[in-house]
Structure 1
C-alpha cells in the first residue's frame, strides 16, 4: 500500500459489539486492485468463568483477534465483545506487496444488564423468625453495579395455620451490600428468595433460593395457682392437661415426666416454665441407670385436643412408657411437655404442673381389748404363711425343672455377669442388682380389676387388649393362670430398695391352665431397641437364650381332626399339624367328610372380639395370615381349594423345593446347588411339592395358568390365573418365592427378606383374603416372616415392638411357630435393621432429585444425608470374625491371600471344582449377587504368582466369560509371571470357551 490508513471511524458502540468505518480506499492508496482489510482488536479479559467465542486468550487475561472485512459491505461490525470494556482497534491494509497498519483506536463498550448472582456463593442462616442472606457480586457484572433487589415470599409451612405472604415483598439494597437480615418471619416456614443485581441498563436474571426457618417450641398455656393439680391419692396424682399452641410445626407429642425430689429440695410453684427433658427415659431405664426422672406417658396430639384430666401413676402404658404408681413416701415434681418434630429438628416446651408430696401413714393405736384376738389371728396367719412358703418352694422346684423363670431373672444374671466382667466392687454390683430387681420385678403389677394380657392377645381367651392397657403380661409360678390382688403390707419394706419410687406388691392366686403363660415381657420402644438387643446379646446371647427357652414347646391345644387316620397322609410331619380351634376348615366335598381338613391355621393378631381399633390398625386384622405346610403331592388340590375359598391373592413361599442336607450358605449355595447336586445327592430332602405349573394345569375342578415370572436375586415373583369349573370368574394369584434363605440357619443379612416383605405388602390388594405363608413345616420360617411383618407395622404405627408376646400369640394358633433360638434372634436383628435403615429404594424417576437432596449439606449438623446413611450402613454391617473366615485362615491357604485383613467369608466362597493334583479348592474370592441374579459376580484379589493357576481354574469352573480388572499393574512383571507359570496350567476338557478381559 502507498500509505498507512487513517484512524478508524466508530460508527456505533453497543454493549457487545462495535461498528467501524474507514476512509475510502482508492487505487492511490492500495496501489493494487487486489487487497484485504483486516480489523484487529484486543482487550483485557475480566476475571470470569464465562466461556467466550474469542479466538485467542493468553495467560495474562488479555483477549485479541482479527476479523477479515469486506470493503464493499455497508456495515463492518466487531462482535462478541464484553460489556463495559476498553477495546483497542486498528485497521490493517494488505496487498501482495506488503501491509500497512493504522493508528490504534481505543473505545469502551457500553454497559449491559448483569449476570445472575452466583447461587453457590449465596449463604442463608435461618433462625426461628429471621433469615440472614449473604451473597457475592455477579461473576459477570457487565458494568457498575448500582443496587441489589431481593424479593421473598412464603411458599409452604409445616404449620397449617400460617398465612403465606402474597404477593412477594421487595427489598432494595445499595451496590456495596453483601448481607441482609429478614426479620419478623414465621417459624417452620419455607421462604423463596430471588436476588438480582442492577446496572445502568437494568436488572439481570435472578438467583432463586429456598430457605426454611427453624421451628419454634409449642406454646403451653400458663396455669394459675394450683389449677393444674386436681386430685391426689397415696400413689397417684391427677393433673389437668391443656393442649399447646403450635408454632411453626404441629405438635408431635405430649409428654408427662415425673422427677423424684430429694427430701431437702424446696417445693416450687407449679404452672410455670421449668426445665425440659430432651431424651425420653422409660421407668425401667431410669431405675437401672439411677436417673431421678422418667417419662410416665407420651400422648399423641389427637388425644389432647381439649383440656383433660390425666392420672399420673395409673399403672398403664402409653406409647411404650409405663406410668408406674408413685411411692407414697416420696416427693415428686410433675412436668408437662409439648414436642414438635420436623425432619431432624425437634423443639420442646415444658412447664412444671404439680408437686406431689409424700403421704405419711397415720399412726395406729392398738386396742387392748382386741389384742388377744390379734394374737390368735397372727398365729393363724403365720401358719398360713408357712404353708404358702412350702407351696412356693415346691412350685419353684417345678419351675426349675421346666426351665422357666421370672423374665426379669435373666436381667439379674446379665447385670451380675456384666459387673463381674468389668471388675466393679461388690457394693456397686449389689446396688445395681437390687435396682434391676426392683425395676423389672415391680413391673409385674396389674390392677385387681384389670384382665391379664399377653400383648397381642390372651393366649387362652384371645380377647382384645384395650388400647390403654399395658403390653405386659402377668408373671406366674409353675403353670397357674393368676388373678392379682394388692398387698399393702409390703410397701414399707420395699421403700428401702427402690431408687425412684415404691409401688405396692401384687400376689397371685389362680386356676389351672394348659401350660405356662404370662411372664414379664413388656413391649420395647423402637428408640430403645438397639440398647435392648445389645443387652440381650451379652454373655453369648444369654438373654435371648433364657427368653426363648421360656416359650412352651410342643402341643398346647387339641388337634383331633389332624390325627384322624384318613388325614395322616395330608401331614408332611407328624408333629407339626393343625390345632382344631384355629385350623382352616375347607368346604367338604360330597361323600367325603374328611375333605374339610388341610394342615393350615388362621393367624390372628387382634383376637376374636370386634373392636373399633381393628379397622384403624391394618396389622391387627383377624385372620390376616394363614400359616400352612409346604404342600405334599396328596394336598395340591386341597391347597388350591383353600386359595379359592379364602380369596387369597398372595402366596408367600419361604423354602426351596429341595434343600441339600449339608450346610451350604447363600449366595454360594444358590450357584453351587446345580454343580453340587451332581456330586452330592444322598442328603437332599424334598421340602415342598411343586404345586404350580410351568404352563397350565388342571387340579380337580381348578385350572391354574402360568402368566409371567420375575426372577430376582433373592426371590421370584410368579403370576398365575385361577379358574374353577362352574364359576364365571378368573382370579389373579401371585406367588412370592423367597429363595435367599439358606438350607441351614438364617440369612446372614435381613436386607433381602425386608425388601421381600415390603414387596408382598404393596402387592396384596386391600380387599383380598388372608396372605398364605408356608415353608416346609409351616412353623419356623413361616413364623419368622409373619412376626417380622407384624412388628414392622407395629413399630411404624405405635413406636413399640412386642416380639416376645407376638411369638407367644402365634404359638397359641399353630405349634412351635419360630422354631429355633437363632430364628428368634434373627427376628430382632431384622426389625432393628428396618428401624435403623428404613426404606432405601429410590424410584428411577426420582433419583436425580433424591441424590441432590442426599448430598446437600445440612447447615445445622454440617453433614449430608448421604454421609449419615453411609455411617448407618457401617454401623449395621457386622465385622467378619475369625470363625467367619476359617477356611481362608487355614495354614495351607495363608500364601494364597494377598492381604490377611481382606479375607472372604466361608459363606461366600466359590470352591474350585476342577482337580489339579494336591492343590486345595480355596481361592481368595467371594460370590456376589446382582439385582436380578444370585451369585452374578465373583469378586477376587489380583492373582499372586502362586495363584494364577487357581485363578484360571476359577474362570473355567464357573463359566466366566468376562474379567473386569480395576487396578494398574506392571505389564512387564505380568508377562514374566504368566510366562513362568503358564506351563503349569493344565485343564483336561473337551469344552472350549472364550473369555474377554476388560481393563479399566
Structure 2
C-alpha cells in the first residue's frame, strides 16, 4: 500500500468497547483490489485512587490483540475492553505486496458500575447493641469509587418482643471509608447488611452478610430497703422474687444462690448488685470442695411470671438442686440470678436479695431424770438394731447359696479399685449443715428447726454413702416417720431382703417430701448393678418384662404440627412423629410457613424440659454434666427431607451425626461377621427382602442441597462402624464447618447387637470427637425411637455412672419418652442397655495407646501384695465372667445330627451367627463346617477361625478356602508336616471343583 489512512477516527466510546472509523480506502491507497484491514489494540488498566493499586497487583502487564475488520462494514468495534482504561489503537493495511501501519491513537474507555465488595474481606464485630463492619474496596472498581452505601434490617430475633426494622435503613459513606459502626441495635437480633460501591455510572452489585448481636443479661427489678426479706426462722429465710425483663433472649432460668459469710464479715445492705455465679454448684459439691457458695434452687421462667415468695432452706429439691436447711449459727448472703441462654452464649444478671444472720440458741441443760430415761431408750433401740442386723446377716447367708456363679465381691473389688467413693448422701449433708458450727455441734442437740426429709433425690444419693456406715433410718423429725431404710453397705442381701418382705426399696410416704409421685424407681449403685440385673433376669414376680411393660406406650403429648397435611410426606412412619413441645423448629423459608417442620426432637437433659412428670424433670437434672438439648433424636431422612436435615445441622451448629441404622436392612437377624459377609456374597438373592431404612443423605464427592454445599473429605472404615468427614457451606455465609458422621453398621432394626463392646467403643469415639462448643449431637436410626433411644440412654448413663457412681436407667427412658414417642422400643433393647452399662462399668476403657503399652503392661503384671493377684489376672477373670457361655440354641446348626461327625470336639462349636456357610456345591455334602468368621480392627469378617480338619472334612476345608477367597492359612498346632502335605495333595486332586481354576494359597506353620 502507498500509506495508511491519514487519521483513525473514534466514532464512539463506551465502558467496554470502542467504535472506530477511517477514510475511504481507494485504489490510490491500497494499490491492489485485494487487501486487509486490521485494528490492533493494547492496554493497561488505568490508575484510579487506591483501587488501582490492588488492580495492578492482580493484573500486572499489558493486554493486546488484533482484530480483522471488514472494510465495507458500516461500523467497526473493538470490544471486551476493561472500563476506565487507556487503550492504544493502530490500523494495519495489508496487501499481497506488503503492509503499512498507522500511528497509535490512545483513547480511554468510560467508567462502569463497580464490581461487588469482596465478601471474604467483610468483617463484622458484634456487641450487644452495636455492630462494626470492616470491608475492602471492590477488586474491580471499574472507575473512581465515589461512595459506599450500606443497607441493613433485622431479619430475626431470639426475643419475640423485638420489633424488627422494616424497611431497611440506608447509610451513605464517602469513597475513602472502610469501617463503620451501627449503633442502637437490639440485643440478640440478626441483621442483614448489604454493602455496595458506586462510581459515576452508579452502584454495583451488593455483598450480603448476616450478623447477630450478642444477647444481654436480663434486667432485674431493684428492691427498696428490706422489701426482699419477708420472714426468717433459725434455718430458713423467705424472700420475695420478682420476674426479670428479657433483653435479646428469653429468660432461661432463675437461680437462688446462698453464700456463707465468715464470722468477721460485716452485714451489708440488701438490694445492691453483687457478683454473679456463672457455674452451677450443688450443695454437695460445695461441701466436698470447700466452696463458700452453692445453688439452692433453679426455677423455670414459667414458675415466676409474677412476684412470689420463696423460702431458702426449705429442704426441698428444685431442678436437681437441694435447698438445704441453713445452719442457725452461720451468716449468709442470699443472691437472686436471672439467666438467658442462646446457643453458645449465656448472660447472667444477679442481685443480692437479703442477709441471713446467725441465730443465738439458748444452751440446753439436760435434766438428770430425763437423761436416765434416754439411757434406757438408747439401750432398747440398740438391742433392736442388733437383732435386726443379725436377721439381715442370716438372710444374707441363706440367699448367698442362691446366687449365680459370678463372684459379686470380686466385681465390687474391681469397682472400688476403679472409682473412689463419690459424694455423700442427703442425710450426711443435713448433718453437715447442722454441725458446721463446732461449738454448736458440741451440744449434741438436734434442733427441731433443722428437719431431715426424704424426697425423690434420696433414692439417688442413698447409694453413694461410704462403705462402713451403719444402717440409718431416715425420718422427718417432728413429722410422720418415713418408712425408708437404707443399708449403707447395700449388698445384694438388702435388695433381696426387701424383695422377700415384699417391701419396695426406698418406698417413702413422708409428707415432707416435696414430690409426691407415687412409687418411684430408685437409682442403682454401680457396685450393685450386677446383682440387680441377675435378679431382674431370674425373678418370677417382677423382672425386666414387668418393668418394661410399666412404661407408657404411645402418644403422650400433642403433635399437631407433624399431623398437618403438608408435613405428612416428611414423616417416614405415621406413628413415630415429633411432639410439639420438644420438636426442632427450623427457621422458616420465605412464603412457606410449613418449612419449619422436621421430624426431630430435642432430648433435653438440663432439667428445664417440658415434662408432665415432676419426677422426670428431677431426674433430667441428674445428668447436669450435660448441657441443655445435648441430643437431637430424629428419623432417618427420606428423600423429601434431605435439605431440611442439612438445614437442621447448620441451624443447630451440630458437629456430629450418629447413625445407628443401615440404608437397607434385611429382616431382623442379629449382626455378626457372617451376616455382614454373606449379605455381600448373596446380595442378589436378598434384594427382594430388603427394606429401605434411610435415604442416603450424604455425597460421595460433593453435592448441593438447596443453598447448602456438602463436600466429602475422608472416610475411616472400621469393623463395626464407619467415620465420614464432610465440610458444610451455606450460600451467603463466609463459613466452612466440619461435620463428622459416625455410622454404626452392626445394629439390626428392633434388635440388639450380640455384644456391646463395639457399641461402647463407638460411643467413646463420638464423645471425644464432639467439640465442647458444638451444638447438639444428632442421633438417628430409621424411625428415631428404638436404636436412637438406646444410644442416648447408654451415653447418658455412662456419664452418670462415672460422675455419681449410680445409674437410673428406668427414669432415663421415662424422661426420654416424654420428649419423643416410644424411645427404646423393645424389652430386648431395654435389657441390652443394662448389659451394655454393666460391661462398661466392669471392664472400663481397655484400649492402651501404643506409646504407653510397655509401661501399662509392666503395671498390669505386677503382683498386688494385698490381693496376691495381678491386674492382668483380674482383667482376664473379668473377661471370662462377662463373656456369655453359648447355649444349645445358639449352636443349633452344629448340633444337627448330620453335622456331629464334622466336629472334632462337641464342647467347642461355632455359633450360628458366625458360621461361614459353604457355597460351592459338592454332591450331597452339607454347607456346614466347624468354623467362625471373626472381625479385625478395621475389617468385618477378616479372619476365619476353624478346627484342624478331620479326615472327613478336608474337602469341606478346601471348599471353605475357595468360597471365601482365602490366600493364607495359618496353622498353629504341632503336626507331622510331611503327612499334612501328603493329605493335602492327594485330597486336592480328588476335588473336581478346582481343576479348571487358577488358585494360589500360602500355608504358614507356627
TM interval, shorter chain, is 0.5 to 0.7
- Structure 1 position 835 matched with structure 2 position 841: yes
**Corresponding position of 1:302:** 302
- The 1:272–1:9 alpha-carbon spacing in structure 2 relative to 1, beyond 3 Å, is same
- The 1:373–1:190 alpha-carbon spacing in structure 2 relative to 1, beyond 3 Å, is closer
How many angstroms does 1:580 deviate by?
36
Q: Is the 8 A contact 2:454 2:512 kept in 1?
A: no
How many angstroms does 1:351 deviate by?
1.7
Q: Could you say what secondary structure the match of 1:766 adopts? A: coil
- The 1:217–1:122 alpha-carbon spacing in structure 2 relative to 1, beyond 3 Å, is same
- The 1:601–1:749 alpha-carbon spacing in structure 2 relative to 1, beyond 3 Å, is same
When structure 1 is superposed on structure 2, of 867-876 and 166-175 the one drifting more is 867-876
Q: Is the 8 A contact 1:196 1:204 kept in 2?
A: yes
- The 1:654–1:287 alpha-carbon spacing in structure 2 relative to 1, beyond 3 Å, is same
Q: Could you say what secondary structure the match of 2:332 adopts? A: strand
Q: Is the 8 A contact 2:460 2:522 kept in 1?
A: no
d(CA) in 2 for partners of 1:867 and 1:344? 47
- The 1:337–1:761 alpha-carbon spacing in structure 2 relative to 1, beyond 3 Å, is closer
**Corresponding position of 2:53:** 53
Q: Please point out which of 844, 855, 860 is paired with 2:850.
A: 844
d(CA) in 1 for partners of 2:839 and 2:373? 64
How many angstroms does 1:275 deviate by?
1.8
- The 1:800–1:214 alpha-carbon spacing in structure 2 relative to 1, beyond 3 Å, is farther
When structure 1 is superposed on structure 2, of 780-789 and 509-518 the one drifting more is 509-518
When structure 1 is superposed on structure 2, of 645-654 and 73-82 the one drifting more is 645-654
d(CA) in 1 for partners of 2:290 and 2:137? 58
How many angstroms does 1:243 deviate by?
0.8
How many angstroms does 1:350 deviate by?
1.4
Q: Deviations over 1:646-704 (max 9, x none)?
A: 99999999999999999996354443599999999999999999999999999999999
d(CA) in 1 for partners of 2:733 and 2:855? 49
How many angstroms does 1:34 deviate by?
1.4
d(CA) in 2 for partners of 1:820 and 1:192? 48
Q: Is the 8 A contact 1:924 1:941 kept in 2?
A: yes
TM-score by length of 1: 0.52
d(CA) in 1 for partners of 2:4 and 2:563? 120
Q: Please point out which of 874, 883, 900 is paired with 1:894.
A: 900
d(CA) in 2 for partners of 1:428 and 1:390? 25
When structure 1 is superposed on structure 2, of 445-454 and 692-701 the one drifting more is 692-701
- The 1:608–1:196 alpha-carbon spacing in structure 2 relative to 1, beyond 3 Å, is closer
**How many residue pairs were aligned?**
999
How many angstroms does 1:313 deviate by?
2.7
Q: Deviations over 1:844-866 (max 9, x none)?
A: 99999999999999999999999
d(CA) in 2 for partners of 1:323 and 1:429? 11
Q: Is the 8 A contact 1:456 1:805 kept in 2?
A: no
Q: Is the 8 A contact 1:784 1:823 kept in 2?
A: yes
When structure 1 is superposed on structure 2, of 201-210 and 407-416 the one drifting more is 407-416
- The 1:146–1:311 alpha-carbon spacing in structure 2 relative to 1, beyond 3 Å, is same
When structure 1 is superposed on structure 2, of 481-490 and 313-322 the one drifting more is 481-490
- Structure 1 position 753 matched with structure 2 position 772: no
How many angstroms does 1:213 deviate by?
0.5
How many angstroms does 1:141 deviate by?
0.6
When structure 1 is superposed on structure 2, of 384-393 and 580-589 the one drifting more is 580-589
d(CA) in 1 for partners of 2:743 and 2:751? 18
- The 1:178–1:529 alpha-carbon spacing in structure 2 relative to 1, beyond 3 Å, is farther
How many angstroms does 1:353 deviate by?
2.1
d(CA) in 1 for partners of 2:353 and 2:868? 37
d(CA) in 2 for partners of 1:199 and 1:15? 12
How many angstroms does 1:71 deviate by?
1.6
Q: Could you say what secondary structure the match of 1:787 adopts? A: helix
Q: Is the 8 A contact 2:395 2:497 kept in 1?
A: no
How many angstroms does 1:17 deviate by?
1.3
How many angstroms does 1:138 deviate by?
0.8
**Corresponding position of 2:620:** none
**Corresponding position of 2:493:** 493
d(CA) in 2 for partners of 1:72 and 1:869? 98
Q: Please point out which of 987, 994, 1004 is paired with 1:988.
A: 994
- The 1:154–1:643 alpha-carbon spacing in structure 2 relative to 1, beyond 3 Å, is closer
d(CA) in 2 for partners of 1:434 and 1:443? 11
How many angstroms does 1:552 deviate by?
22
How many angstroms does 1:440 deviate by?
24
Q: Is the 8 A contact 1:780 1:817 kept in 2?
A: yes
d(CA) in 2 for partners of 1:116 and 1:561? 42
Q: Is the 8 A contact 1:454 1:805 kept in 2?
A: no
Q: Is the 8 A contact 2:584 2:601 kept in 1?
A: yes
Q: Is the 8 A contact 2:670 2:751 kept in 1?
A: no
d(CA) in 2 for partners of 1:130 and 1:553? 51
When structure 1 is superposed on structure 2, of 606-615 and 275-284 the one drifting more is 606-615
Q: Is the 8 A contact 2:151 2:195 kept in 1?
A: yes
Q: Deviations over 1:749-769 (max 9, x none)?
A: 999999999999999999999
**Corresponding position of 2:131:** 131
Q: Is the 8 A contact 2:131 2:213 kept in 1?
A: yes
- The 1:407–1:574 alpha-carbon spacing in structure 2 relative to 1, beyond 3 Å, is farther
d(CA) in 2 for partners of 1:731 and 1:36? 59
When structure 1 is superposed on structure 2, of 888-897 and 856-865 the one drifting more is 856-865
Q: Could you say what secondary structure the match of 2:555 adopts? A: coil
How many angstroms does 1:175 deviate by?
0.8
How many angstroms does 1:202 deviate by?
1.6
Q: Deviations over 1:538-575 (max 9, x none)?
A: 99999999999999999999999999999999999999
d(CA) in 2 for partners of 1:166 and 1:702? 27
Q: Deviations over 1:824-875 (max 9, x none)?
A: 8963899999999999999999999999999999999999999999999999
d(CA) in 2 for partners of 1:111 and 1:729? 34
Q: Is the 8 A contact 1:407 1:520 kept in 2?
A: no
d(CA) in 1 for partners of 2:596 and 2:20? 103
When structure 1 is superposed on structure 2, of 661-670 and 573-582 the one drifting more is 573-582
Q: Is the 8 A contact 1:435 1:499 kept in 2?
A: no
How many angstroms does 1:224 deviate by?
2.1
When structure 1 is superposed on structure 2, of 966-975 and 359-368 the one drifting more is 966-975
d(CA) in 2 for partners of 1:349 and 1:591? 38
- The 1:62–1:592 alpha-carbon spacing in structure 2 relative to 1, beyond 3 Å, is closer
How many angstroms does 1:373 deviate by?
6.5
- The 1:965–1:326 alpha-carbon spacing in structure 2 relative to 1, beyond 3 Å, is farther
- The 1:794–1:985 alpha-carbon spacing in structure 2 relative to 1, beyond 3 Å, is same
- The 1:162–1:609 alpha-carbon spacing in structure 2 relative to 1, beyond 3 Å, is closer
**Corresponding position of 1:564:** 564
Q: Could you say what secondary structure the match of 1:912 adopts? A: coil
When structure 1 is superposed on structure 2, of 5-14 and 712-721 the one drifting more is 712-721
How many angstroms does 1:186 deviate by?
0.8
- The 1:538–1:507 alpha-carbon spacing in structure 2 relative to 1, beyond 3 Å, is closer
Q: Could you say what secondary structure the match of 1:71 adopts? A: coil
How many angstroms does 1:5 deviate by?
2.5
Q: Is the 8 A contact 2:55 2:139 kept in 1?
A: no
d(CA) in 2 for partners of 1:837 and 1:983? 50
- The 1:216–1:503 alpha-carbon spacing in structure 2 relative to 1, beyond 3 Å, is farther
Matches within 5 A, 1:389-428: 417=417
When structure 1 is superposed on structure 2, of 639-648 and 904-913 the one drifting more is 639-648
How many angstroms does 1:800 deviate by?
14
Q: Is the 8 A contact 2:197 2:204 kept in 1?
A: yes
- The 1:139–1:563 alpha-carbon spacing in structure 2 relative to 1, beyond 3 Å, is closer
d(CA) in 1 for partners of 2:975 and 2:68? 53
d(CA) in 1 for partners of 2:954 and 2:166? 72
How many angstroms does 1:595 deviate by?
50
Q: Is the 8 A contact 1:319 1:799 kept in 2?
A: no
- The 1:283–1:539 alpha-carbon spacing in structure 2 relative to 1, beyond 3 Å, is farther
Q: Could you say what secondary structure the match of 2:100 adopts? A: strand
How many angstroms does 1:317 deviate by?
2.7
d(CA) in 1 for partners of 2:667 and 2:631? 30
Q: Is the 8 A contact 1:457 1:464 kept in 2?
A: no
**Corresponding position of 2:621:** none
Q: Could you say what secondary structure the match of 2:974 adopts? A: coil
d(CA) in 2 for partners of 1:595 and 1:99? 70
Q: Is the 8 A contact 1:740 1:747 kept in 2?
A: yes
Q: Deviations over 1:271-321 (max 9, x none)?
A: 222222222233343344443333222221111111112222333332233
How many angstroms does 1:105 deviate by?
0.3
- Structure 1 position 589 matched with structure 2 position 595: no
How many angstroms does 1:636 deviate by?
39
Q: Could you say what secondary structure the match of 1:473 adopts? A: strand
d(CA) in 2 for partners of 1:18 and 1:728? 39
Q: Could you say what secondary structure the match of 1:53 adopts? A: helix
- The 1:431–1:252 alpha-carbon spacing in structure 2 relative to 1, beyond 3 Å, is closer
TM-score by length of 2: 0.52
d(CA) in 2 for partners of 1:573 and 1:780? 13
Q: Cα RMSD over matched residues?
A: 20.1
- The 1:306–1:829 alpha-carbon spacing in structure 2 relative to 1, beyond 3 Å, is farther
- The 1:639–1:467 alpha-carbon spacing in structure 2 relative to 1, beyond 3 Å, is farther
How many angstroms does 1:364 deviate by?
2.5
